[in-house]
Amino acid sequence: MTDKSVQVGDTGNRWSGWSDSDTFVGWLFVAPFLLIWGFWFFRPFMLSLSRSFQNVNFMDLSAAEFIWFGNYLSILRDPEFHEAVLHSLTIVLFAVPTQSLLALLIAIALNRKLPGRGVFRTIYSVPYIVSPIAVATVFMVLFRRDQMIVRFLTAVIRTPNVTWFADVNLALAFVILLFIWQQTGFFMIIYLAGLQGIPDDLYEAATVDGANPLQKFLYITVPSLKAVTYFVVTVGTILAFQIFDQIAAISRYGNLGSPAGATTTVITYFYQHGIRYMNIGRGSAAVVIFVLIIMAITAIQKKLMAVKD
């Protein structure tokens, strides 16, 4: 009898402790996000996963035919998909390091006590909140043949005097420049928040020890921002893989991925086959492969940067 009463008492205390703990409050705040995530991401992804094993047309879902890994094998053998993956990786490899470095340098400059720094912070963050279609339209005007920017680049780095987004060799570079310009301001804000969390005592102690600005940057700023950099690089990679609006704006008068497939990415490949061609099975398989690529790259980034939880 005594043992049972102790067990009941322990159970009651355990549940009362759970209800009063920070853990319960934390789950309470996270619950709405988890519900939304489950409904808008996990549920559609599982549906896409099931459709990826089927030969099914969007107009007749009831006639779905189970074909096992047929869609995956067809995609992996498709040269168009290989080109799309190559373009996506090119965007990531050029855009993510560049925008991360620019965001860090701008954040360091705006973290100083300078007059009007609030105005500059706003100016640098504005591109991120502007519609990608609007930004792409403006860039398409600026990068036409004989425009000032094009003529300047022709004189400095010897690029041809052509309309960038209509040239097979420069269209992808145009997309990368457009993406970097629009995303840098957002990551600047993230880095700025990280810089403001570094204690001033560290820099003062380094000054007393005779450290120069470069040494402070390398041995204090960079290590202190390791977790922030991991976040910036990871989110930047995901956003770079998901780029679509800018490419759609460039291709509005032709096939998606124009000119001649020079701006085709994994996302446009999915859109072409899953939406335009209404082959939901093939499009769903492309989505699953895309998610696996993102997960693999994120895991590699975490391993390389050795971020500790």
Please give the Cα distance from 84 to 268 (Å, whole number).
8
Contact 190, 228 (CB under 8 A): yes
State the virtual CA torsion across 252, 253, 257, 262 in degrees, nearest 10: -130
For the entire predicted model, the pTM comes to: 0.83
C-beta contacts of 107-114 below 8 A and 24+ residues apart:
107/188, 107/189, 107/191, 107/192, 107/194, 107/195, 108/191, 108/195, 108/217, 108/221, 110/188, 110/192, 111/192, 111/195, 111/196
Interior CA angle at 179 toward 176 and 182, to 5°?
Answer: 150
pLDDT of residue 18: 52
Question: Which secondary structure element, helix H or strand E, spans residue 233, and what is its range?
Answer: helix 226-241
pLDDT (tens place) for every residue of the chain, 309 residues total: 445 444 444 544 554 455 556 788 888 889 999 999 898 888 888 888 898 898 888 777 777 888 889 999 999 999 999 999 999 999 999 999 999 999 999 999 888 877 777 788 888 888 888 888 899 999 999 999 999 999 999 999 998 999 999 999 999 999 999 999 999 999 999 999 999 989 989 888 988 988 888 898 989 999 999 989 989 999 999 999 999 988 988 887 677 888 888 999 999 998 888 888 888 888 889 989 988 988 888 888 878 776 444
E-strand spans in the chain? 54-57, 60-66
The whole-number pLDDT of residue 20 equals: 55
294 — alpha (psi -120 to 50), left (phi > 0) or beta?
A: alpha
Calpha distance 285→71 (Å, rounded): 6
Cα three-residue angle 167-170-175, rounded to 5 degrees: 110
Predicted confidence at residue 257, as pLDDT, reads: 84
Domain 70-305 sits in CATH 1.10.3720.10:
yes
pLDDT computed for residue 9 by the predictor:
47
Cα separation of 14 and 2, whole Å?
Answer: 18
Q: What is the pLDDT of residue 53?
A: 92
Structure tokens at 176: 């990368």
Domains in the chain: boundaries: 2-51, 70-305
Determine the longest span between alpha carbons in the chain, in angstroms: 93
CB-CB contact of 294 with 241 (8 Å): yes
Q: Contact at 8 Å (CB) between 139 and 218? A: no
Residue holding tokens 């030969």? 55
How many other β-carbons are positioned within 10 Å of the β-carbon of residue 170? 21
- Residues 18, 24: Cα–Cα separation, whole Å: 6
Q: Is the dihedral of CA 237, 230, 134, 105 positive or negative?
A: negative
Q: What is the pLDDT, as a whole number, of residue 76?
A: 92
Name residue 186's amino acid: F
pLDDT of residue 306: 64
